[in-house]
Amino acid sequence: MNVISMDCPQCGARAFVRSSRPLSNTMRELMFQCRVLPCSASWIANLEVARMLSAGGVPNPNNPAPLSGRAELERLIAIATSDPRQLSLDHEH
């Protein structure tokens, strides 16, 4: 299992999340605490969805995170192939 960690901004030791809370559906606030004595510094960091690599099978129109170039291409293809008004490029004779 992967555990979110980051280096302590004070002493540089690896620190881990002690608690977290959602700020929105794309951002979470994380509280870190350094485990090294006598440092024991604590701080708040934000974890935010930077961009979507894939829109997934259940796209959310209210998701403000931008799509990566490939995900945007997949979204446009899905729209083009699902719109019945779209002319087909396949020809049947």
Residue numbers of the site for Zn ion (CB under 5 A)? 8, 10-11, 13, 34, 36, 39, 41
Give least dist CB 14 to Zn ion, A: 9
Give least dist CB 29 to Zn ion, A: 20
Of 14 and 70, CB closest to Zn ion: 14
Classify burial at 65, counting beta carbons within 10 Å of its beta carbon; exposed 0-12, middle 13-18, buried 19 or more: middle
Of 39 and 47, CB closest to Zn ion: 39
The residues, any chain, with a CB within 8 Å of residue 69's CB and separated by 6 or more, are none
Of 35 and 70, CB closest to Zn ion: 35
Give least dist CB 4 to Zn ion, A: 16
List the end-to-end C-alpha distance of the chain, in Å, as a whole number. 56
Token pair in block for residue 31: 């509280």
